[in-house]
Chain A
Amino acid sequence: MRSLVLLIFSILSVTVASAQQNASKSTSIDIGIGFGSSQGTLSGAYIHNWNIGKQQKIQIGVGGRITGYLGANQYYSTAPAKLTYGKTGPSVFFSENIEANIDTFLIAKPQVFAINALINLGYKVTQKITVGFNIDAIGFSFGDEKRGNYINGSQGQNATSKPTGFNLLLISDNDLGSLNSEFYGKYQLTEKLALKAGLQFLFTEYTTDIEVQQFPEPNDRFRNKSSMFTAGVSFNVK
């Protein structure tokens, strides 16, 4: 895991360093809401972009994002890749889930706050329109303790859980904690203000106080994967 983290940050460092040469810069503050089935988010991000390429249409950026997630009656599933795919590492991306290993933890009112460093990639289609993708990379989460219902066929347990504290982007179910990402389109209304809309894909994760899942091995981590529509505004600050 440590080597993967180092690899991600090495690639990012090299990319940013090369982007800094002969590139114009822009900085924005983005505020958005996400809304899906019985769930929603409110997020704010600070993003510093380097505009690269001959016509400076490609944007590479880094920044930070705070995401507040609120849901109602959300089902969390077994999180560790070791259980969901029977292995860890990049190869899980090309593997099938092992359904028999995946149990459910139902939380009536999940509420998670995540503060993460993010990576942004964008492309200026025209002077006014930009499309892009951003994803949280590393950070931490917090939130109130919640009681949830662990459901495994006819057997169950009600147990206490908290948002998993440490967030880290790896690959697929290797991820840890709560991570937000979005595909977006941005329309520049004025020099300072743009409208932003797109699709948000959010992982939130809870850790139970006891290892409620026992088979095929003990587990206390459960993840919810949410797809939501997102809309908001982007303010150019530099």
Chain B
Amino acid sequence: MKKILIIFIIALLSSCKEEDATPTAPINDDFDTTTATVLKSGTLAGIGHTVSGTVTIYKSASSKTVVLDPFSSQNGPDLKVYLSKDINASSYLSLGALKSTSGKQSYEIPGNPDVTDYNYVMVWCEQFTVVFGRAEIKP
């Protein structure tokens, strides 16, 4: 029975796949912050991982955008940017895949919602259901 269990665990571990990581080349999105209005902002802190930076939500003529600037994150697989109503991401909007582990980056909020109820921005490893870092955002 012990041998069967060992074979089972080896088989399970050996079947794990290498996942695609986030690009590491620094980027500098050209979102113009001077013509937009700040709605909310906060400071990113790592949760068991190394993440740092500033999060700001801007309102422009027809859309709202989350900007990470400055920004730096430990790399990982399937990293996404979430705009969440609560600390547990019980209800969130996915802003898409993290563009890079460093540099200024902007993410348009889909559906142009009222952001009053959204209080956190998270860097979230979707495939492994792990939060890398988060910022509480306030007006």
Q: Residues of A at under 8 Å CB distance from B?
A: 31, 33, 35-40, 42, 70, 72-73, 106-108, 147-149, 151, 153-159, 232
Q: List 19 A-B contacts (CB under 8 A).
A: A31-B4, A33-B7, A38-B12, A40-B12, A40-B15, A108-B128, A149-B89, A151-B94, A151-B126, A154-B95, A155-B93, A156-B92, A157-B89, A157-B90, A157-B91, A158-B88, A158-B90, A158-B129, A159-B90
CB distance from B129 to the nearest CB of A (A): 4
| Contacts from B to A (Cβ < 8 Å) | 4-5, 7-8, 11-12, 15-17, 82, 88-96, 110-111, 126-130
Query: Chain A contacts of B92 at CB under 8 A?
Result: 155-158
Q: Flag if A149 contacts B129 (CB, 8 Å).
A: yes
Closest chain-A Cβ to B78's Cβ sits at a distance in Å of 9
Question: Closest CB-CB distance, B83 to chain A, in whole Å?
Answer: 10
C-alpha spacing A164/B127, complex, angstroms: 23
Complex Cα–Cα for A147 and B92 (A)? 15
Chain A residues with CB under 8 A of B90: 157-159
Choose one: A33, A38, A149, A159; the contact of B126 (CB below 8 Å): A149
A157 CA to B86 CA in the complex, in Å? 10
Across the interface, do B126 and A106 meet the contact criterion of CB distance under 8 Å? yes
Contacts of B110 in A (CB 8 A): 154
Whether B15 lies near A33 (C-beta < 8 A) is no
**What distance in Å separates the Cβ of B77 from its nearest Cβ neighbour in chain A?**
9
With a cutoff of 8 Å between Cβ atoms, the chain A residues found around residue B17 in the complex are: 37-38
**B4, B15, B127, B130: which contacts A42 (Cβ < 8 A)?**
B4
CB distance from A164 to the nearest CB of B (A): 20
Contacts of B12 in A (CB 8 A): 35, 38-40, 70, 72
Known A73-B129, A149-B129; contact A35-B89, beta-carbon cutoff 8 A: no
CA distance A107 to B7 in the complex (A): 24
Cα separation A120 to B11 with both chains bound (whole Å): 26
Partner of B127, one of A33, A35, A73, A147: A73
Whether the pair B94, A42 counts as a contact (CB closer than 8 A) is: no
Nearest CB on A from B22, distance (A):
17
Residue of chain B at shortest CB distance from A229: B11
A42–B8 touching, CB < 8 Å: yes
Q: Chain A: which residue is nearest B5 at the CB level?
A: A42
| A108-B15 in contact (CB<8A) | no
Known: A147-B129, A154-B110, A156-B82. A40 touches B93 (CB 8 A): no
- Chain A contacts of B94 at CB under 8 A? 151, 153-156
Q: How many angstroms between the C-alpha atoms of A159 and B92 in the bound complex?
A: 12
How far in angstroms is the closest Cβ of chain A from B33?
Answer: 23
How many angstroms between the C-alpha atoms of A42 and B10 in the bound complex? 13
Bound-complex Cα distance A118 to B126 (A): 36
* Cα-based distance from A155 to B127 in the complex (angstroms): 16
Q: Taking CB as reference atom, which chain B residue is nearest A37?
A: B15
In the complex the two chains form, what is the Cα distance from A121 to B111 in whole Å? 54
Residue of A nearest to B85 (CB): A157
Q: Which chain A residue lies CB-closest to B1?
A: A31
